[in-house]
């Protein structure tokens, strides 16, 4: 049994190396994909079923991405899980997709946990990317949900969303380093996507911002982003507008800070060492609170160069082995 689980784990890791690359849809023929299912609440989700199931289901929550649960990278991730024997549920988190922090997204995750909860024949895990990593930790800590979850894995999670916006280096009056500029501009673009009409930004400029935001982490140089911001957006001061509006969102309710003692399952935290959207210190804070619990569950922290924010980085053998170790709890390996 352990050998089979190890084979599935290695199959998964090999496929995850291709996430974010050209989408050939080659794995689609090896899975059963049911799109746009509707939960009793009306929330939508995709379901990816393996041909050879391992008795494991994962709810994978996307972060801030314009295409939401249809983002090709999220779809590739779900297929990689399914081909490796893991059923994957992709909830449509409309609010976080658009840079809005609303508890309706968290409630949909909770509803799906109830629908696909672990049983004698199925283990249920949660995986969350970026701010949705905070959501799945918060869901797993809820008293009514904690016993229904077998494991949690996060990529680039945030400990306190409110504090991230309040004290973030990205909100200096003027960024100083390339990394600060990169984060500053990213938040500004998310703000434009959500509030361009209120900001008075012309629709054609908003469309250019959307194109840049869609491939922000992979296709554009820092110099291009900075020139774009200064020539198109600086006069509108979009970041300050966005921060003021975000402070009205449900930031504390969606953050795991102060709630992690409620988690009863194993947790694996993965964070890019050079993540400038959500610094690795956020996962370190999560790990510290998990270890302060009266009966701490097994939790691991990997700060790695293998990923940037949530997109792949350079692959080295040693870090690849560490990555394998961080994902082993999916298949209940020690």
Cα(13)–Cα(320) distance, integer angstroms: 9
pLDDT at 308 over 80: no
Rounded to a whole number, what is the distance in angstroms from the first to the last CA of the chain? 13
Question: Mapping DSSP to helix (H, G, I), strand (E, B) and coil, where does residue 36 land?
Answer: strand
Instruction: Give pLDDT, residue 318.
Output: 62
- What are 311-328's pLDDT values in tens digits? 555 556 566 778 888 999
Question: Mapping DSSP to helix (H, G, I), strand (E, B) and coil, where does residue 158 land?
Answer: coil
Identify which has the larger pLDDT, 63 or 222.
63
Give the pLDDT mean for 94-116: 96
* Cα separations in angstroms, 301 against 42, 186, 266, 325: 35, 26, 11, 11
Instruction: Give pLDDT, residue 169.
Output: 46
pLDDT at 26 over 70: no
Give the pLDDT mean for 308-313: 56
Nearest in space to 126 (alpha carbons), one of 173, 65, 57: 57
154: enclosing H helix or E strand: strand 151-155
Instruction: Give pLDDT, residue 198.
Output: 95
Instruction: Give pLDDT, residue 311.
Output: 56
Cα(153)–Cα(166) distance, integer angstroms: 26
Give the best-scoring range by mean pLDDT among 20-29, 70-79, 137-146, 243-252.
137-146
Q: Enumerate the β-bridge partners of residue 38.
A: 44
Cα(38)–Cα(23) distance, integer angstroms: 26
pLDDT at 286 over 60: yes
Give the pLDDT mean for 274-283: 88
Question: Is 27 in contact with 83 (CB distance < 8 Å)?
Answer: yes
Q: What kind of fold does domain 2-160+252-331 have according to CATH?
A: Rossmann fold (3.40.50)
Cα(183)–Cα(225) distance, integer angstroms: 10
pLDDT at 237 over 80: yes
Task: Calculate the average pLDDT of the chain.
Answer: 88
Question: Is 137 in contact with 286 (CB distance < 8 Å)?
Answer: yes
Strand order in the sheet with 31-38: 31-38, 44-50, 86-91, 56-61, 123-129, 151-155, 266-272, 299-304
- Give 306's pLDDT tier (boundaries 50, 70, 90): confident
pLDDT at 30 over 80: no
Instruction: Give pLDDT, residue 14.
Output: 83
Question: Mapping DSSP to helix (H, G, I), strand (E, B) and coil, where does residue 237 land?
Answer: coil
Instruction: Give pLDDT, residue 258.
Output: 96
For the whole model, what pTM was predicted?
Answer: 0.91
Give the pLDDT mean for 160-174: 68
- What are 247-260's pLDDT values in tens digits? 888 999 999 999 99
Q: Where are the domains of the chain?
A: 2-160+252-331, 162-246
pLDDT at 171 over 60: no
Question: Is 136 in contact with 148 (CB distance < 8 Å)?
Answer: no
Instruction: Give pLDDT, residue 149.
Output: 95
> Where do we find the tokens 């909770």?
110
pLDDT at 309 over 70: no
Beta strands of 26-134 (E only): which ranges?
A: 31-38, 44-50, 56-61, 86-91, 123-129
Q: Is the dihedral of CA 254, 34, 18, 99 positive or negative?
A: negative
């Amino acid at each position: 049994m352990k050998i089979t689980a190890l084979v599935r784990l290695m199959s998964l890791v090999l496929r995850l190396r291709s996430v974010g690359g050209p989408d050939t849809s080659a794995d689609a023929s090896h899975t059963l994909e049911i799109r746009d299912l509707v939960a009793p609440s009306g929330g939508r989700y995709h379901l990816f079923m393996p041909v050879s199931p391992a008795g494991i289901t994962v709810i994978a929550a996307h972060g801030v991405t314009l295409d939401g649960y249809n983002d090709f990278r999220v779809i590739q991730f779900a297929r990689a899980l399914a081909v490796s024997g893991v059923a994957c549920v992709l909830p449509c988190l409309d609010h976080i997709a658009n840079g809005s922090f609303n508890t309706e997204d968290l409630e949909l995750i909770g509803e799906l946990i109830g629908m696909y909860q672990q049983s004698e024949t199925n283990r249920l895990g949660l995986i969350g990317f970026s701010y949705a990593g905070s959501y799945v930790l918060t869901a797993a800590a809820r008293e009514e949900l904690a016993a229904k979850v077998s494991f949690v894995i996060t990529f680039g999670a945030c400990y306190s969303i409110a504090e991230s916006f309040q004290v973030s280096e990205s909100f200096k009056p003027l960024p100083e380093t390339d990394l600060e500029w990169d984060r500053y501009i990213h938040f500004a673009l998310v703000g434009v996507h959500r509030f361009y009409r209120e900001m008075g930004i012309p629709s054609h400029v908003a469309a250019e911002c959307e194109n840049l935001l869609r491939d922000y982490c992979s296709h554009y140089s820092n110099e291009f982003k900075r020139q774009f911001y200064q020539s198109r957006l600086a006069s509108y001061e979009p970041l300050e507008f966005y921060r003021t509006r975000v402070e009205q969102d449900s930031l504390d309710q969606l953050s795991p800070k102060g709630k992690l003692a409620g988690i009863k399952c194993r947790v694996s935290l993965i964070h890019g060492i050079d993540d400038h959207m959500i610094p690795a210190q956020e996962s370190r804070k999560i790990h510290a609170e998990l270890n302060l619990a009266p009966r701490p569950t097994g939790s691991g922290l990997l700060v790695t160069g293998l990923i940037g924010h949530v997109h792949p980085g350079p692959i080295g053998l040693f870090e690849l082995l560490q990555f394998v170790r961080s994902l082993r709890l999916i298949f209940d390996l020690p």
